Amino acid sequence: MDMNTVRNVGGIGALILVLSPIVGLIPVIGGLINLVGVIMVIVAMYGLSQHYKSPDIFKNYLIGLVVVFVGTILAVVLGGASLLSMGMIGTQEAAGIFGGLIAFISSVLLAFAVLWVGAIIGSFFMRKALLQAAEVTKNENFKWAGNLFLIGSVLLIILIGGVVSWVGAIFLALAFFGLKK
């Protein structure tokens, strides 16, 4: 894959990720469009790693995405289980409602903790890949994107992490579009 293709595929994929807060509001189609953006960035990272003969760029980025994906799936399963447990609360006697409510809250907190830890570990690997990309391309925007993704993941606990990661996606788009042809 030539650098012009890497530049365009990665840049457009990252722009889709930048638009994800808006596009994601469209039921079903929004999620598919965001998935296309993620796949385009993966393909571009593969092309980048092939061009610079640095397979760790792609490997680390892919590991990061897989960890985030698995963490998200586990969090959704735990969240679904907590909703099911909430449905059972109504069938219990008054004394059991408090225990059911505690179980529900615990499940939700556990689901969020799994999501948070998965995001941090995944973004650590993504940052590692983006720092390697910054080194071989001499493009500091990759470094900024990686740092902002990691900081955003850590800050998810206080709910501003999504905004920080969104800014990281902007830097990722700038990084790809800033690649030399």
| pLDDT tens readout for residues 75-87 | 988 888 777 766 6
Domain span holding position 133: 3-64+118-177
Residue 163 lies in a domain: yes
- Closest C-alpha to 134, from 122, 146, 124, 123: 146
- Closest C-alpha to 85, from 50, 62, 109, 116: 109
Distance CA 86, CA 116 (A): 23
Q: How far apart are the first and last CA of the chain?
A: 12
Residue 107 lies in a domain: no
Position 128 confidence tier, pLDDT thresholds 50, 70, 90: very high
Residue 101 lies in a domain: no
Residue 167 lies in a domain: yes
Residue 77 lies in a domain: no
Tally of structural domains, the chain: 1
In the predicted structure, residue 141 carries a pLDDT above the cut 60 = yes
Residue 127 lies in a domain: yes
Residue 141 lies in a domain: yes
